[in-house]
Amino acid sequence: MVRSVMEASHAASEAVKLIKPDVVAAYPITPQTHIVERISEMVADGDLKTEYIRVESEFGAISALVGAAAAGSRTYSSTASQGLALMNEMLFVASGMRLPCVMNVANRALSAPISIWNDHQDSMSARDIGWLQFHCETAQECLDLTLLAYKVAEDHKVLTPALVCLDGFTLSHVFEPVDVPDQKTVDAYLPPYKPLHAYVDPARPVTQGPIAFPTHYMELRNEQNEAMMNSFPVITQAFKDFADKFGRAYDFLELYRMDDAEFAFLGIGSECGTLKVIVDKLREKGEKVGLIKMIVYRPFPKEQLLEATKDLKGLAVLDKAISVGFEGVLFTEVRSAHYDSDHKPDLRNFIVGLGGRDIRYEHVESIYEMLKSGKGKKIEWMY
């Protein structure tokens, strides 16, 4: 294992190099460009042997992945924002055909108005399509969770595509120390991909993505949902194997200073680094507060969340995505998870960071005061 200081985007690129996909297809879009730019350099230098397809659009990229994955190849792409939106039609095709494609998403706001800065509206808009979702706080997690996503997606009990999300600019362009594992250890953790079904063998013809009449469509969607739910034990085992091989432990949720917490923040991605600092400052003042960082967003970790919140008086959900006309996307699911729970903390929703707006100490301090006092609205926009 080698420790290097690198951009988080390049940490994702290093993961791809270690994974050795058969096909890479991508179209550059800010702030994702550095990932595939570095991968193209690796290919040009002979450090990565893969079929690198320079496509004409993000729709072309995901279409190439679907074709390659259906033929039995290990595939990779990355995108952001409008690029993910342009892929939308084929995202459904990939999940419906149970193709374990993996993509990094450098989270970026959607236009109009045009914004190149970070929030979570792009990946949250894909929550119902049937892709696994992992979210990164650090450059190290960009590398690690990309490796882990393949381990889970390609498991024959799952066979479901995956998004590994990193916040645009606030993480993607940040330089941090990263432990890069050696190829031998990665190969032991992630062996070559062995597809369960592929249409390249004339002796074993397979039809993929055919028409489904009303007599069959619901059954197939139910099987797809069951595969996503089947991923829970697979993810748990993948985390355990990862800790054994690489010495870094992950879980569906990371609990920070939660042992005796009465109140907590819940966040996703790079905002959690800021929240950890603020939790420390509040702890110095004697406040019993902690942080729940959601690493796995799909499948949604309901049971793990209920266990983490069972002793809380209040929980503030910091949402970087808004369901226009209602409330924060993550908050809806957190509240739904508590619907039939024996214990319901005071749940508060705070819309933060849209379009790259800074999440400042004074914002979070105000959030904590509202949470602790029970004052203010149940849903607040923090500017």
Q: What is the residue-wise DSSP string for 230-276? A: HHHHHHHHHHHHHHHHHS----SEEEES-TT-SEEEEE-TTHHHHHH
Q: Please list the pLDDT of the chain residue by residue as tens digits (383 residues).
A: 899 999 999 999 999 999 999 999 999 999 999 999 999 999 999 999 999 999 999 999 999 999 999 999 999 999 999 999 999 999 999 999 999 999 999 999 999 999 999 999 999 999 999 999 999 999 999 999 999 999 999 999 999 999 999 999 999 999 999 999 999 999 999 999 999 887 667 888 888 888 999 999 999 999 999 999 999 999 999 999 999 999 999 999 999 999 999 999 999 999 999 999 999 999 999 999 999 999 999 999 999 999 999 999 999 999 999 999 999 999 999 999 999 999 899 999 999 999 999 999 999 999 999 999 999 889 999 98
**2-246: CATH superfamily:** Thiamin diphosphate (ThDP)-binding fold, Pyr/PP domains (3.40.50.970)
Encoded tokens for 80: 């952001």
CA distance 309 to 343: 8
Question: Please, where in the chain does CATH 3.40.50.920 lie?
Answer: 253-381
Encoded tokens for 168: 């645009």
Cα angle at 141 between 356 and 49, to 5 degrees?
Answer: 105
**Which of 105, 104, 22, 28 lies closest to 70 in space, CA to CA?**
22
CATH class given for the domain over 253-381: alpha beta
Question: Please, where in the chain does CATH 3.40.50.970 lie?
Answer: 2-246
CA distance 313 to 344: 8
